[in-house]
Amino acid sequence: MHTYHTPLDLVRSRHVESPVVCVRPDRVAEAGRWFQDNFPGEVLYAVKANPAPWILQALHKAGTRFFDVASIPEIQLVAEHCPDSRMAFLHPVKSRESIRRAYYEFGVRIFALDCEAELAKILEETNHASDITLIVRLAVSNDGAMFSLAGKFGVPAYEAAERIRKVRAHAEELGVSFHVGSQCMQPSAYRSAMLEASRLIVQAGVTVDIVDVGGGFPSIYPGMTPPHMDDYITAIEDAFEEMMVLENADLWCEPGRALVAEAESVLTRVELRKGDALYLNDGAYGRLFDAAHAKWPFPVRLHRPRGEIGEHTASFRFFGPTCDSLDAIPGPFELPADIREGDVIEIGMLGAYGTALATDFNGFGAIERVAVEDMPWPSMFEAQPDLAEDDEAKVINFARARRRRPRLRRRA
């Protein structure tokens, strides 16, 4: 992969036709090391956020040796790119074939479940193995998060104690897990979920070996500046102290977004301008699914290969390259008012659930990939300015607007 100092250097030095994904290996390494150094337990990377081999290799190089996987292809990727690593199969609904292959072919010993039918599948397909770790996924509130993951998985509180007790009898090691929702803006959400888990464990009257606080750790997007990452760690540490679990229970977390969001952006070309509508060569079926469907606020900047960029800005909306009218990204995005055909827009913070969701629909799947060395947007892992008041207002408005729409439940 070729390295440019900045995306502008690339745009100036040669013609680009397809969208160009700019990767920033330093950002992944920094995030990976931060979690290794600061989280008081095991850090599992949730592979679904971005399964690109370069990401897996960068995380492995930064010390990540534990991965949260949801399918055999994800298991194969980790096995190939991250030697000497452990994997936890944390999808609560697995096919029988995938349970069997994970256990016998790939040595996976950690499985999640939320119901008795899945417990039976795991026990049968591993031939009632005596060396498995079972993680019971609990349903918890997702109110602090921008993306709910509460709709699909998790044992409800009224059934949890009995489920935990039952699973204990079949597990060499037993864990409980939950997911507070993606892009969780409130550290206290982890604390509430952990205390709820503690209550259910006490009610079950058994010991647990693992408390897995899931993913949900946030990144910084325009108008959506979360508290410092330290605050999340502190909230989790304090709640773990308060939990009524054995002192030697292990603490795990499964970040996806926070480890990779900063690590990729895309350079997309303006193919046509019609008033405030820019027709781009990337869109909802490419790397901009969340920008289109969740109206997620990604940062943008203009790179013009030649000529000055005017000072005045205006609000624009985007259309992607396919013929589908759903391929529309309302924004609004603030860009120089004189933007025109041939200009290249960089859309940032697409490392999580950006490239992972791209398709080849309508023949628009081709991309190039280059490495760059700059980091133009604020990072969760460097000193950040405090949350500005107008930012806070935007966060609240965004959360409200999202609540009125049907929620996307694609993540889990």
Ligand X SMILES: *Cc1c(COP(=O)(O)O)cnc(C)c1O
Inter-residue contact 122 to 104 (CB < 8 Å): no
In this chain, which stretch among 8-16, 43-51, 199-207, 389-397 interacts with ligand X, using CB under 6 A? Answer: 43-51
For residue 215, which of 260, 269, 170 has the smallest C-alpha distance? 260
CA 82 to the chain's CA centroid:
19
Q: How far is the CB of 182 from ligand X (least distance, A)?
A: 3
Residue ranges of alpha helices (H) inside 126-249 are 157-168, 188-204, 229-242
Q: How far is the CB of 248 from ligand X (least distance, A)?
A: 24
Other Cβ atoms within 10 Å of 374 Cβ, number: 15
In degrees to the nearest 10, what's the CA dihedral of 302, 306, 308, 311?
-10
Asked if 47 touches ligand X (CB under 6 A), the answer is: no
Asked if 179 touches ligand X (CB under 6 A), the answer is: yes
**Cα–Cα distance for residue pair 227/391, rounded to 1 Å:** 12
Residue ranges of alpha helices (H) inside 254-373 are 257-260, 289-293
Phi, psi of 106 (to 5 degrees): -115, 0
Q: Does residue 84 sit in helix, strand or coil? A: coil
Inter-residue contact 138 to 204 (CB < 8 Å): no
**Cα–Cα distance for residue pair 397/185, rounded to 1 Å:** 13
Residue number with CB closer to ligand X (174 or 280): 174
Residues 60 to 79 in contact with ligand X, rule: CB under 6 A = 68
In this chain, which stretch among 99-107, 154-162, 208-216, 319-327 interacts with ligand X, using CB under 6 A? Answer: 208-216
In this chain, which stretch among 78-86, 156-164, 165-173, 255-263 interacts with ligand X, using CB under 6 A? Answer: 255-263
Among 46, 201, 220, 329, binds ligand X (CB under 6 A): 46
Among 16, 31, 90, 132, binds ligand X (CB under 6 A): 90
Residue number with CB closer to ligand X (256 or 348): 256
Inter-residue contact 244 to 204 (CB < 8 Å): no
Q: How far is the CB of 216 from ligand X (least distance, A)?
A: 5
Asked if 239 touches ligand X (CB under 6 A), the answer is: no
Asked if 175 touches ligand X (CB under 6 A), the answer is: no
**Cα–Cα distance for residue pair 220/15, rounded to 1 Å:** 31
Inter-residue contact 145 to 219 (CB < 8 Å): no
Inter-residue contact 155 to 138 (CB < 8 Å): yes
**Cα–Cα distance for residue pair 156/163, rounded to 1 Å:** 10
In this chain, which stretch among 24-32, 45-53, 244-252, 309-317 interacts with ligand X, using CB under 6 A? Answer: 45-53
In this chain, which stretch among 46-54, 81-89, 190-198, 322-330 interacts with ligand X, using CB under 6 A? Answer: 46-54
In this chain, which stretch among 115-123, 159-167, 248-256, 282-290 interacts with ligand X, using CB under 6 A? Answer: 248-256
Q: How far is the CB of 206 from ligand X (least distance, A)?
A: 22
Which residues have C-beta within 8 Å of that of residue 96, sequence separation ≥ 6?
Answer: 121, 124, 125
- Binding residues for ligand X, how many (CB under 6 A)? 19
Asked if 182 touches ligand X (CB under 6 A), the answer is: yes
Q: For the residues of 300-317, what is the DSSP string, one character each?
A: EEEE-SSS---S-EEEEE
Q: Does residue 338 sit in helix, strand or coil? A: coil
Asked if 168 touches ligand X (CB under 6 A), the answer is: no
In this chain, which stretch among 128-136, 239-247, 251-259, 377-385 interacts with ligand X, using CB under 6 A? Answer: 251-259
Phi, psi of 186 (to 5 degrees): -125, 110
Q: How far is the CB of 377 from ligand X (least distance, A)?
A: 18
Contact mark string toward ligand X, 369..408, x via CB under 6 A: ----------------------------------------
Q: How far is the CB of 394 from ligand X (least distance, A)?
A: 20
Inter-residue contact 188 to 235 (CB < 8 Å): yes
Among 48, 60, 94, 269, binds ligand X (CB under 6 A): 48
Asked if 233 touches ligand X (CB under 6 A), the answer is: no
Residues 319 to 358 in contact with ligand X, rule: CB under 6 A = 352
Phi, psi of 278 (to 5 degrees): -110, 125
The closest residue (CB) to ligand X is 215
Residue number with CB closer to ligand X (48 or 402): 48
Among 7, 51, 215, 226, binds ligand X (CB under 6 A): 215
Would you tell me which residues interact with ligand X (CB under 6 A)? 46, 48-49, 68, 90, 179, 182, 214-217, 254-258, 352, 411-412
